[in-house]
């Protein structure tokens, strides 16, 4: 299995508090992604990174920010958590090579509950 860890694995927080989720990889892959998964919606891309300090928005980026200061770490921050951000969050990594740009490896997920 690809070396991807997410922390914390479970978190319960209150509305209005800031929350940071961490994704850590040991594969030295260039690309990192944050998805959320909710019942009835499948996985939706929040933000992604194509290199250190290079990030861009996905399809559901409102209310989230990201940072990537090192190749191995990709942080997802909820500046002021809302109940609608209760979800399971998955991090993924990939390394661009011919025809395999979309072979992504996923972490175990973080279950976030915002009360």
Partner 1 sequence: DAKTTQPPSMDCAEGRAANLPCNHSTISGNEYVYWYRQIHSQGPQYIIHGLKNNETNEMASLIITEDRKSSTLILPHATLRDTAVYYCIVSWGSGNTGKLIFGQGTTLQVKP
Which stretches of the chain bind partner 1, using CB under 8 A? 31, 33, 35, 42-45, 48, 50, 56, 58-59, 90, 92, 94, 96, 98-109
Q: Which is nearer to partner 1, 54 or 79 (CB)?
A: 54
- Which lies closer to partner 1 via its Cβ, residue 62 or residue 98? 98
Q: Dump the DSSP string for the chain.
A: ---EEEE-SEEEE-TT--EEEEEEESS--SEEEEEEEETTTEEEEEEEEEETTEEEE-TT-TTEEEEEEETTEEEEEESS--GGG-EEEEEEEE---TT-TT--EE---EEEEE-
CB of 73 to partner 1, least distance (A): 18
Largest CA distance in the chain: 44
Nearer to partner 1, 62 or 99 (CB): 99
Terminal CA-CA length for the chain: 34
Please, what is the minimum distance in Å from the beta carbon of residue 18 to partner 1?
25
For residue 74, the minimal CB distance to partner 1 (Å) is 14
Min dist. Cβ of residue 3 to partner 1 (A): 13
CB closer to partner 1, 63 vs 109? 109
């Amino acid at each position: 299995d690809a070396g991807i860890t997410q922390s914390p694995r479970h978190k319960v927080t209150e509305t209005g508090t800031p929350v940071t989720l961490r994704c850590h990889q040991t594969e030295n892959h260039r690309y990192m992604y944050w998805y959320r998964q909710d019942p009835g919606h499948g996985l939706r891309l929040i933000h992604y990174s194509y290199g250190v300090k290079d990030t861009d928005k996905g399809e559901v980026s409102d209310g989230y920010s990201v940072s990537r200061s090192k190749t191995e770490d990709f942080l997802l921050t909820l500046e002021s958590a809302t109940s609608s951000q209760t979800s399971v969050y998955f991090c993924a990594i990939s390394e661009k090579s011919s025809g395999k740009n979309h072979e992504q490896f996923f972490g175990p997920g973080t279950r976030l509950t915002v009360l």
